[in-house]
Chain A
């Protein structure tokens, strides 16, 4: 249609105006061209919308501009169809930057999404919101990130960590606030978050190493369970961290190395090394002792060498290279050699790093020499890198095999590779004196090769070799002088001329003749050759002026009028220097000394030398130049910074309570109930997906910290235990632990417990199924008082199955719950298999609707079904709430009258002090203590799990063992029952 209009108009218009019109119309066409898509997007049918979105996304993928559709697309951001929605997100993120105002229309949808009860929807809303690069929403983003960082779900917290660098790149001014969020997330105890937050740390504030101290041990211990990409980032960061915090483990050896480097390389066996280390230790001031945290890092990264992900293996390898004692670095060689089987791009990067490593630590790759042999099918760049490695690995013992190998390479069809091989031979010859003559002979033979490139390369290399001992090799120089007639490669010609000039005294007859020939062809030579001709002429003039005076003059005259100013310059300079004139300067006396000075032989060095000042495996190392955002690998400190910064403090209040609880018994012997408690939390994580995340929750939600008084040995064991934990997590069937270990673990976990719940005397186990009625299967349960993460309105019930039968029990699960209306059950994941004699612990959630009605259900195994019921004591229907004294008073004021129940009672004989009262009350009900000014009063606060009604308890002691108990609660039934229970507990 538009074309038609255009044609009609054009017919009536003059030529000059036409041009203008064409512009206008083509613009209109540009606007209308997506009309059909707009129509589809406006339709009511999801299928049409989807089709339109698919076409738009396909256009985006091809790089076509579809920004004019923005308004039509954004309307659909709230579409019910999930695929349409996702594609709209794709579009939105792509174009929001260009259409800032319109993009704002969509923000409210995401803000709503952030409040959704489903964690995955919350996460995806945050993800898209933070990807919209519109500066005006920075405050909204900041708020959303902060909120998400303290979300219950670790997945949402992970997304928050991802959002941090996005916001930082959008508005760097938010850095300080973001660092606060990072600090908070770094303390997170879940593996899901760890990788992402370290990534954020690296991008936003990589220099804030102080934020890592407290989390260092935790990161080390979590490492193995973090997803592979996170592992890479964490390992790289920890490498840098370790360089600032620990001492160089090779400090003694590096001092020794200076004096006897050669000898050291020659004997690289581990035994020898140990001896050396010992000797060094004796000589040096003080023996080196590795920081246990340093050891922890090395030990926990080692298993990751077995990862299938090349990036992880490389990260561990570089960590060992930069941090491990010399004797231990060797273990990475095998893994790196394994990576060479991978894709050629991986090979390329690995070989670059191996090349750098072989310069510093040759011994480690020597056993794998043959893995670096070159195949004719390797790409050239790989061949050249392998050659580099082989050259670095060459020493007196293996040089003969390496040279034999090189000989076959010279016959290759790949000429670039042949040239590199010749250079490699040259380097071997300079490095290893014994084979110099052999190499030289081999290279001289190559001079008769038919391929000019080969000959040229050989000439260049021979020149370098000859410089080392020219006297014995005048034959070779003569031979090369003959070559000048045939070789055309400038570099080779220049090298020959230089050689003849330098050693003209060894070939007095030939040299002038060469100069004669060169003078003839001077004008046609390349610049480097011309320069060398001038050099040759000058040197000959100085040694043999009789024969060459005229030739030299001629050459200098030619050079005087050369096009290249370098050559003109050189000619003028040399003429002044060597040709004696009246006013020749003071320098001309020294001309001979200047030209024919003894020149030091060139050292053929690997291009990879000294590359290790870049962190291996990094982009900067590969490019041998600093890439943007590269963090220098710091030098080892002279003396170790205070290691105690990594000790994790326990918060004051908690600490105090802890001493009350475990103080008298000491760390070694912990009350049995605590062991049980710790054991339960521990085995939590081993019981299927739901419960695992539950325990993760509790870990992070409570912000509990490891004890500050931990000794070194504890740390070590803790880390071993983590290892085991990982195995066990998968290994659902194995929940047993040696007693010592659980005691150990207990010491660590006590603080978790203390922080989440008020210190209680013990957790009571209830029987669900007796061993006899259960035909060998005994089931017990307890109320763990942990928040139940999948659903915060449920009470967590920990169930322990013990299989006392002679056979395995299979498929333990729940069926047919019969519940009062409103009650809900979240079943535990089915236990597939339970071997004889083992016990398994799982967690299930029950929403009791704040009533003490029993939850009835069937417990099924593969053979039998048992009817069981769980009836909660009223005290377990609540969770602790932390209130201040003022808040408590205020809330209590609101719950007067009918909501207040007060009873007088006489305290039991043992209730002599406040401490016992607190213990009794918290044992009866899951409440937390509220600070109180008066020592006659104890206050407790909590809320019901299901409906969140406040429960306030006050115990006022009076003289003569009498006391008054007051409970304020909106739910009168709960209140009454609680009063009864607490009275009973206190009057015992």
Chain B
């Protein structure tokens, strides 16, 4: 399936290669570089690039391209999903998955890749199993290793692969047993010129951080499970139980994992927590344009809207912007024409605004495209869909764990058209 893997950085250097079958010359990447050159933006590189003898499937994460070489028919999503899983694993191990991190840990990376694929077919992709095979590097362990010469490779061979719960390590022990769940909802919306909602959806995830001793068996129930329209589960969740009782019942993996992602049914009206008043105009014949932007809270259920960040791609004709924010700071990059305004918290008494003028190229006609405004924000302690966790129970272990649930609402792909 996957023949080889090349890691390519933003400047087009191959800094790591790994082959699972016979060696494929790195010159195969020339086709990829051509495609990169042809694409104007890095994200416009086609994920699948056919070449005469191979096919290149790539993903871009954190300015690193992961280019897999394929020789025969294989579902492209299979490869893409796997490459993302590789990146996730690296992130899990090294905190970030940048070129520097990979180069610093090249041996661990190689050992991981060796375990994850056998002859190009995925073998062990569960983070818990991998961590038993290859210990993630920590500062302490690095120091100890250099002194004692001991290794990163687990002494014992893992049994997890053979068990019925392959996602969980055996023999987990903690002094503090805790289970935290974060319910994070994102609002994807497109708001049109007049402020009415064109489309709005809520996508949510429940991320868990479970540090429990032994083999706990957890059940999580919701007050209003009917809200969830479409769900996808971590493999640990028992699907039948959810079908029958709308209860999440699972033996959790150890550590951080995504338990569930869901989509809130589109029948429910989505409360849009902020509004944007804008007036962006260019006058014919003059080299000046007007820019006015005001933000305000709309339906926030009494919670504060925080970490607000506004960004907008201004038309190419704009040379510079001379604006004054009522709060926060703004930057305008004259090269990329990207305006971003870090607003911070919205105070309902004193609405934040950004006003001023834009200067255009003299003589150029007025741009006929309108910039869109992208919004980011966070609202703590609120799940905008109204989803509520009812209770979390643990079976199978006798200690009392510490349980915590946190709600948060964020802007996903939130756009205002002007």
A31-51 vs B, CB cutoff 8 Å, 1 = contact: the mask equals 000000000000001110010
Contact B50 A689 (CB under 8 A): no
Contact B217 A732 (CB under 8 A): yes
Contact partner of A732 among B71, B234, B396, CB < 8 A? B396
Please, which residues of chain B bring their CB within 8 A of the CB of A313? 232
Contact B398 A810 (CB under 8 A): yes
* Cα separation A693 to B59 with both chains bound (whole Å): 37
B209 interfacial contact with A, CB 8 Å? no
A937 interfacial contact with B, CB 8 Å? no
B176 interfacial contact with A, CB 8 Å? no
Contact B80 A345 (CB under 8 A): yes
* Cα separation A618 to B60 with both chains bound (whole Å): 21
Contact partner of A623 among B48, B58, B157, B161, CB < 8 A? B48
* Cα separation A829 to B153 with both chains bound (whole Å): 26
* Cα separation A723 to B244 with both chains bound (whole Å): 13
B372 interfacial contact with A, CB 8 Å? yes
Contact A61 B413 (CB under 8 A): no
A733 interfacial contact with B, CB 8 Å? yes
Please, which residues of chain B bring their CB within 8 A of the CB of A343? 59, 80, 84
B101-128 vs A, CB cutoff 8 Å, 1 = contact: the mask equals 0000011011100100011011101000
Given contacts A86-B114, A120-B157, contact A162 B121 (CB under 8 A): yes
**In residues 223-280 of chain B, which contact A (Cβ within 8 Å)?**
229-236, 238-241, 243, 249-251, 258, 261, 263, 266
B47 interfacial contact with A, CB 8 Å? yes
Given contacts A229-B125, A308-B261, A311-B78, contact A162 B413 (CB under 8 A): no
* Cα separation A859 to B249 with both chains bound (whole Å): 29
Please, which residues of chain B bring their CB within 8 A of the CB of A314? 75, 77
Number of interface residues of B (CB under 8 A): 111
Contact partner of A833 among B55, B121, B396, CB < 8 A? B396
Contact A370 B41 (CB under 8 A): no
Please, which residues of chain A bring their CB within 8 A of the CB of B80? 310-311, 343, 345-346, 349
Given contacts A162-B119, A229-B125, contact A619 B70 (CB under 8 A): yes
Given contacts A343-B84, A345-B59, A727-B241, contact A629 B413 (CB under 8 A): no
B297 interfacial contact with A, CB 8 Å? no
Contact A229 B77 (CB under 8 A): no
Q: Closest Cβ of chain A: how far from B330's Cβ, in Å?
A: 19
**In residues 216-275 of chain A, which contact B (Cβ within 8 Å)?**
224, 227-229, 232, 236
Contact B55 A627 (CB under 8 A): yes
Stretch of B90-98, B196-204, B320-328, B350-358 on the interface side: B196-204
* Cα separation A224 to B372 with both chains bound (whole Å): 44
Please, which residues of chain B bring their CB within 8 A of the CB of A833? 217, 395-397
Contact B77 A346 (CB under 8 A): yes
Contact B238 A730 (CB under 8 A): yes
**Which range contains the number of A residues in contact with the other chain?**
35 or more
Q: Closest Cβ of chain A: how far from B21's Cβ, in Å?
A: 7
* Cα separation A344 to B26 with both chains bound (whole Å): 25
Stretch of B162-170, B286-294, B340-348 on the interface side: B162-170
Contact B114 A617 (CB under 8 A): no
* Cα separation A811 to B149 with both chains bound (whole Å): 40
B303 interfacial contact with A, CB 8 Å? no
Stretch of B10-18, B384-392, B403-411 on the interface side: B10-18
* Cα separation A901 to B396 with both chains bound (whole Å): 52
Contact A306 B239 (CB under 8 A): yes
Contact B240 A81 (CB under 8 A): no
Please, which residues of chain A bring their CB within 8 A of the CB of B214? 830, 832
Please, which residues of chain A bring their CB within 8 A of the CB of B70? 619
CB-nearest residue of chain B to A202:
B73
* Cα separation A338 to B261 with both chains bound (whole Å): 10
* Cα separation A360 to B385 with both chains bound (whole Å): 35
Given contacts A169-B21, A309-B81, A727-B240, contact A229 B122 (CB under 8 A): yes
A23 interfacial contact with B, CB 8 Å? no
Stretch of A141-149, A371-379, A662-670 on the interface side: A371-379
Contact partner of B149 among A46, A121, A730, A830, CB < 8 A? A46
CB-nearest residue of chain B to A341:
B203
A196 interfacial contact with B, CB 8 Å? yes
Please, which residues of chain B bring their CB within 8 A of the CB of A625? 50
Contact B73 A630 (CB under 8 A): yes
Please, which residues of chain B bring their CB within 8 A of the CB of A236? 75
Contact A619 B74 (CB under 8 A): yes
Please, which residues of chain A bring their CB within 8 A of the CB of B368? 411, 449-451
Contact B78 A61 (CB under 8 A): no
Contact partner of A349 among B41, B76, B111, B371, CB < 8 A? B76
A425 interfacial contact with B, CB 8 Å? no
A212 interfacial contact with B, CB 8 Å? no
A331-365 vs B, CB cutoff 8 Å, 1 = contact: the mask equals 00011011001011110111000000000000000
Contact A61 B109 (CB under 8 A): yes
Given contacts A154-B162, A833-B396, contact A619 B48 (CB under 8 A): yes
**In residues 811-849 of chain A, which contact B (Cβ within 8 Å)?**
811, 829-830, 832-833
Contact B59 A90 (CB under 8 A): no
CB-nearest residue of chain B to A164:
B119
* Cα separation A345 to B243 with both chains bound (whole Å): 31
CB-nearest residue of chain B to A192:
B162
Contact A86 B153 (CB under 8 A): yes
Contact partner of B16 among A61, A121, A306, CB < 8 A? A61
Given contacts A61-B106, A229-B82, A380-B44, contact A832 B369 (CB under 8 A): no
* Cα separation A309 to B84 with both chains bound (whole Å): 11
Please, which residues of chain A bring their CB within 8 A of the CB of B258? 308
Contact partner of A628 among B71, B84, B369, CB < 8 A? B71
Please, which residues of chain A bring their CB within 8 A of the CB of B395? 733, 832-833
Please, which residues of chain A bring their CB within 8 A of the CB of B74? 619
Supply 15 further A-B pairs (C-beta < 8 A) apart from A63-B14, A731-B241, A829-B215. Answer: A46-B149, A47-B148, A314-B77, A338-B263, A341-B261, A348-B48, A375-B190, A379-B41, A450-B368, A618-B73, A625-B50, A689-B162, A689-B165, A730-B165, A730-B250
Pull 18 A–B residue pairs with CB atoms less than 8 Å apart, ordered by A. A47-B148, A62-B15, A83-B153, A94-B19, A131-B119, A133-B22, A307-B235, A314-B77, A341-B261, A344-B47, A376-B372, A619-B76, A631-B73, A729-B164, A731-B238, A733-B217, A833-B217, A833-B397
Which A positions have Cβ atoms within 8 angstroms of B? 45-47, 50, 54, 57-58, 60-63, 81-83, 86-87, 89-90, 94, 97, 118-121, 127, 130-131, 133, 153-155, 159, 162-163, 165-166, 169, 192, 196, 199, 224, 227-229, 232, 236, 303, 306-311, 313-315, 334-335, 337-338, 341, 343-346, 348-350, 370-371, 373, 375-377, 379-381, 405, 408, 411-413, 449-451, 617-620, 622-623, 625, 627-631, 685, 689, 692-693, 723-724, 726-727, 729-733, 810-811, 829-830, 832-833, 862
A-B interface, 6 closest residue pairs, ranked by CB to CB distance from nearest:
A832-B396, A47-B149, A629-B72, A689-B163, A83-B151, A370-B199
Which B positions have Cβ atoms within 8 angstroms of A? 1, 14-19, 21-23, 26, 40-41, 43-44, 46-48, 50, 55, 58-60, 70-78, 80-82, 84, 106-107, 109-111, 114, 118-119, 121-123, 125, 148-149, 151-153, 155, 157, 159, 161-166, 170, 188, 190, 192, 198-199, 201, 203, 214-217, 229-236, 238-241, 243, 249-251, 258, 261, 263, 266, 313, 315-316, 365, 368-372, 374, 395-398, 413, 415, 417
